């Protein structure tokens, strides 16, 4: 089905709902107005821009969506200004997916391997990354970062064991351990128990209890 859609993109301008199809070389981006213009008239484009296997849709010069295809006709990439952003492997598996709000990342973005196993989750809010979770090759949660500064030097850090249970958690301030860190040990039933707490100040251990 995705290959059929690719053929329709190439063969029929009516697939873009009757809008005019332009070639990439006939257009130009205007940095001042933040719009895509037609070179011949210097007017904003409403319609599609085609460049090989890449197709972009604009309305009054504003980007709406785009799609890319592999040589075999399978979809490679699709992106909307307000909506889903998805990248695919050649085998059709999803490589990366998330949503955009007015062109900015918003919500949870997920990355997978070619077998469909989750590798990474990033949490965004209107273009600002809030945190990231990493998973092992089996798809089990292994580590988590919750950003507390835009430079990513201050953050809450959580490390998980092979079963996906919490192993330790605490805060880094400018790359150094700070505040109370908690350390856990695994139990026979698969759960964990708090083993100890250690208080740090600027990377130095103050006390343990």
Residue 17 near residue 43 (C-beta atoms within 8 A): no
pTM: 0.84
∠116-73-49 over CA atoms, to 5°? Answer: 110
pLDDT (mean) for 3-21: 47
DSSP helix/strand/coil, 5: helix
pLDDT of residue 19: 67
Distance CA 179, CA 92 (A): 46
- Give the pLDDT confidence of 45-95 residue by residue, as tens digits: 999 999 999 999 999 999 999 999 999 999 999 999 999 999 999 999 999
| Burial group, residue 74, by CB count within 10 angstroms (0-12, 13-18, 19+) | middle
| pLDDT classification of 6: cutoffs 50, 70, 90 | very low
Q: What tokens does 185 get?
A: 């040990």
- Give the pLDDT confidence of 180-201 residue by residue, as tens digits: 999 999 999 989 999 999 999 9
């Amino acid at each position: 089905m995705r290959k059929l859609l690719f053929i329709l993109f190439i063969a029929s301008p009516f697939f873009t709902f009757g809008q005019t199809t332009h070639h990439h070389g006939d257009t130009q981006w205007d940095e001042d107005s933040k719009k895509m213009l037609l070179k011949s008239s210097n007017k904003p484009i409403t319609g599609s821009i085609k460049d090989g296997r890449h197709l972009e849709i604009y309305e009054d010069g504003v980007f709406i969506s785009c799609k890319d295809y592999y040589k075999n006709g399978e979809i490679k990439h699709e992106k909307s200004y307000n909506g889903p952003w998805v990248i695919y492997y050649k085998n059709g598996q999803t490589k990366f997916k998330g949503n955009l709000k007015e062109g900015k990342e918003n919500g949870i973005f997920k990355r997978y391997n070619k077998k469909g196993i989750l590798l990474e989750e990033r949490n965004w809010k209107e273009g600002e990354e809030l945190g990231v979770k990493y998973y092992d090759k089996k798809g089990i949660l292994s580590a988590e970062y919750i950003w507390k500064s835009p430079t990513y030097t201050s953050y809450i850090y959580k490390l998980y064991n092979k079963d996906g249970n919490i192993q330790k958690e605490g805060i880094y301030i400018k790359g150094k351990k700070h505040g109370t860190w908690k350390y856990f040990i695994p139990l026979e039933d698969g759960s964990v128990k708090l083993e100890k707490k250690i208080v740090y100040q600027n990377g130095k251990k103050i006390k343990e209890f």
